[in-house]
Amino acid sequence: MNIPQHSLVLYKNGPARVIALGDKLDIELEDGRSLRVRPKDVALLHPGPLNGLRGLDAPAGEAEAACELLEGIATTLADLADLVYGAYTPATAWATWRLLNEGVYFQGTPERIIPRSLAEVAREQAERAVKAAEREAWNRFLARARAGRCAAEDARYLHEVEEVAWKQREQSRVLQALDCGQAPVNAHALLLRLGYWDVTANPWPRRVAAVLTAPVVDLPELPEELRRDLTDLPAFAIDDAGNLDPDDALSLDGDWLWVHVADVAALIPPDSPADREARARGATLYLPETTAPMTPEAAVQRLGLGLADRSPALSFGLRLDADGAVAEVDIAPSWVRVQRLSYEQVEERLDNEEPFRRLHQLAQRHQDRRRANGAIFLDLPEVKMQVDDGRVSIQRLPRLRSRLLVAEAMVMAGEAAARFALERGLPFPFTTQEAAVDAPDREPLGLAAMCALRRSLRPRQYSSLPGPHGGLGLEIYAQVTSPLRRYLDLVAHQQLRAFLRGGPMLDAQAIVERVGAAEAAAAGVRRAERLSREHWTMAYLQQHPDWRGEGVLVEKRQPRGVVLIPALAFETRVKVAEEVALDSVLPLRLTGVDLPERAAYFRVER
C-alpha cells in the first residue's frame, strides 16, 4: 500500500496525518501526539495533501439516497464519498469512514464497501433507537437512585435487586452500578433507601425458600364409615380469640378425659396428593402478616372443630390413675359437637364451673407426675405479634392457667397415643429428647437461669423407635394433636386410623423416610418464622422510635450483656457495667434500628 506524505490515514479507528515516511511512518494524532508506526498498522483514507486534522467536518450528505442508488453494488471509499457528499476530500473521506464504521447504511472495508438494503437500514435504525432509549432510561434511573429516590418505571430495574434480597439470584447490575455489595442485606438496604420497599416488606420467608401459598389440591368426600357418637359430651375448643384452624377440643366423661382432634387422615391418606404436599411443607407457616397452611384450605373448612354443628374427629380417651399416670387409653373415630372458647373465657370459669375445674385438676395431677419425673418447666415471656395495614402490634401474653390446662391435655393425649402404638407394635413417629444432665434446677425462678437452662437443652428428635422425652418427664411420647398443622401428627393419625380400620399401615422404613422429609421441611418453616418475627420486631421498633422499656440481664458477656426484653420477647446485647447482677431489671431506651441486619440498639438509661 503506497501511503503518501501528508495523507489522511486511519489508526485505531481514529484519524491521523502522515508527517514523515520511512521504514516506519511518523503520524500525527488528533490530540496532537506523534507516533511512529508500521505501514500495516494504518489504512489510507485520502492521499492528501492534508495540512492538519482540524476542519475534518464534512457537509450534510445523502447517505440513504446513495444506499438506495447503489442497490447492493460494492464500491470504494473514494467513490462513496463522491456519491454521498459530492466530492472526495479528506473531510468527506473521514465522514464516509464514519458512515461505514457506524454500520447502518454500509458495511465492509475502505477498499470494498457493501450497501445494506433499505429494509435492513430501517431495522437497524429501529433497534438502535430502542437501545439508545434504554441507555437513556438506565442513566435516568441511576441518577434517581444516586439521589436516593425512585419512580414507578424503575420497577423493571429494581426487580432484580429484589431477587438478590430474596436470595433468588446472586448478582445485580444495579447493585454493581451503584457500588453496593452483592449480598441480600445490601439489596434490602438499597430498596429501603430508595423507598421502593418499606418496613412491611419481609424478605425472610422467600430468602429461606418457604412456600407462601396454600396447597391447591382436591380432597375426597368424607368416607361413609362407623364413628362413635360423642355428641352428647360437651366439647370445648379452647384457643386464642380469632384462631382460624381449631383442631383440638376437650371433654370430660366421668373419670375419662377426651381429647378430640380433627380427623385429617380421613381426607388425606398416605401418599395421596394432599399428603405429598403436606410432607413437602412439613408444617403450617405462621407469620405475623399471613399464614401458609400445610393442608388445603378446604381441610380446615370441613374438619375444623366447631366450624360446623357436628365435626368428625379422632378422639383420644384416657384415664389417669391416682399418681397422674395414664392408666387406660381408648382411641376412636367419632362425631363431636364443639363449642369454641377463648383462653380468657375459660380462665374466668376455671375455679367454679365444671367441667373446667375438673379438667384443671386432671392437668395439675399429670403435670405433678411429670415434675416428679424430672420434667423441665420454663416460664419465659411470650408475645402475640400481628401486622395489620402495615402497622405492627406486639402484645405480651398473660400467664393463664387455661393456657397451661390445654397444653397439658395435649401432652396427655400424646403420651396416651404413644403408649397405644407401643403396646400394639405400630410403626409410629415417636418424639424423644435427651435429658439435660447438667441442669439440677429444672424449674428455675429467674429469667437468667431459665435462659441458661434453655441453652443447655438437647433438641427434640423424631424416630420410629420409642424413647423417653426428658424435657417432658415422660417415658414415651408422640405429637398427635395438630394434624392440620404438623405433618408428623398427620402421619401418626394415618397409622392409628389404618390400625383401627384394619387397613394396611406404613412400615418402619416408611416412617423413617417421612420423619426425615418432614423434619427437613419443618426446619425451614421454623427458620422462616423466627427470622420473620425478628424482622417484625425491628419494624415495630422503627414505628416506635421513642421506645422505652425494661430489660432483664440474662447473661453477662463484658462489655455487653445479653438482655431479655419481656414486652417484646426479644433478646439483644447492651453495654452494662461489670457490677450489674444477673436478673437485674434495666431501664432501656431505643437508640437505633438496622432493619436489614435485624438489629436494634439500646442504651441503659441512668
Q: What is the pLDDT of residues 233-253, one digit of tens each?
A: 999 999 988 888 899 999 999
Going by pLDDT thresholds of 50, 70 and 90, the confidence category of residue 559 is: confident
Strands 461-463 and 548-555 come out as unpaired
CATH architecture assigned to 121-197: Orthogonal Bundle (1.10)
- Using a pLDDT cut of 70, give the percent of the chain over it: 99
Instruction: Check residue 458 and give its pLDDT.
Output: 87
Would the pLDDT of 212 be above 60?
A: yes
Q: Which fold has domain 544-604?
A: OB fold (Dihydrolipoamide Acetyltransferase, E2P) (2.40.50)
Instruction: Check residue 436 and give its pLDDT.
Output: 67
What is 447-493 written as a DSSP string?
Answer: HHHHHHHHHHPPPPEEESS---BTTTTBSS----S-TTTBHHHHHHH
Q: Please state the pTM of the whole predicted model.
A: 0.85
CATH architecture assigned to 1-54: Roll (2.30)
Condensed to tens digits (0 to 9), the pLDDT of residues 432-443 reads 998 766 655 667
Going by pLDDT thresholds of 50, 70 and 90, the confidence category of residue 545 is: very high
Instruction: Check residue 531 and give its pLDDT.
Output: 97
Strands 560-565 and 570-575 come out as antiparallel
Report the pLDDT averaged over residues 187-213.
Answer: 96
- Annotated domain spans of the chain: 1-54, 56-116, 121-197, 228-533, 544-604
> Residue 397 gets which letter from DSSP?
P
Q: Looking at the DSSP assignment, which residues form a beta bridge with residue 313? A: 262, 334
Cα Rg for the chain, rounded, in angstroms? 38
CA-to-CA separations, 592 to 101, 178, 557, 586, 589, in angstroms, rounded? 57, 25, 21, 18, 9
Name the average pLDDT for the chain: 94
> Residue 582 gets which letter from DSSP?
T
Q: Looking at the DSSP assignment, which residues form a beta bridge with residue 35? A: 27
Condensed to tens digits (0 to 9), the pLDDT of residues 351-367 reads 999 999 999 999 999 99
- Using a pLDDT cut of 90, give the percent of the chain over it: 88
Condensed to tens digits (0 to 9), the pLDDT of residues 301-352 reads 999 999 999 999 999 999 999 989 999 999 999 999 999 999 999 999 999 9
Instruction: Check residue 447 and give its pLDDT.
Output: 93
Going by pLDDT thresholds of 50, 70 and 90, the confidence category of residue 165 is: very high
587: preceding bond cis by omega (within 30 degrees): no
Would the pLDDT of 38 be above 90?
A: yes
Cα angle 332-333-335, degrees, rounded to a multiple of 5: 120
Evaluate whether 121-197 and 544-604 have a shared fold. Answer: no
